[in-house]
Amino acid sequence: MSKGTINKVILIGRLGADPILRYTPEGIAVANFNLATDQAWKSQEGEVKTKTDWHSITAWRKLAEFCGEYLKKGSLVYVEGRLETSSYTDEDGNKKYSTKVLAEHMQILGPKAEQEEKLSKETIDKIKESEKEGIIEPTEIEKESDIPF
């Protein structure tokens, strides 16, 4: 690691689809999902404008398994990680670049009271165990009626 550099990303957004959970040939879990973040501003005419950015997120190991099991389309989540850019050559021989966020921490956001209504005791125990192991931050599940998708 170079001294004096930082590669840190913090996002709060909603999933555009359920995560895709796969396993490498070595049995290591990897989850991929897209996260939407919005930016709002007023135009000179006073009209509220919004712009949505989509972020590709990749989680590995226990965090990937947690994401695959508990995250759903529309989930509001806090993701902390780092950027990784890779390159590839397309069918026409052109070099292309892809940037994604490698998730290191994740927290489901939403009303705490609703969490226990929606999750079984076994699920809550799994979440608490993951929190103890440092895999995830303490979590909360939001109301489904708050999901805009």
DSSP sequence for 59-95: EEHHHHHHHHHH--TT-EEEEEEEEEEEEEE-TTS-E
Residues 6 or more apart in contact with residue 27 via CB below 8 angstroms:
none
Q: What is the CATH number of the domain that holds 82?
A: 2.40.50.140
Calculate mean pLDDT across residues 101-112. 86
Flag whether 149 is in a domain.
Answer: no
Q: Is residue 84 pLDDT above 60, yes or no?
A: yes
Does residue 147 form part of some domain? no
- Any domain includes 46: yes
Range of the domain at 69: 9-142
Say if 119 falls within a structural domain. yes
The answer to whether position 138 is within a domain reads: yes
| Number of domains composing the chain | 1
Average pLDDT over residues 100-107: 95
What digits encode the pLDDT tens for the residues 29-77? 999 999 999 999 898 998 989 999 999 999 999 999 999 999 999 999 9
- According to the model, what pLDDT value does residue 3 have? 83
Q: For residue 4, tell me if it sits in a domain.
A: no
What does the pLDDT read at residue 121?
A: 59
pLDDT of residue 114: 45
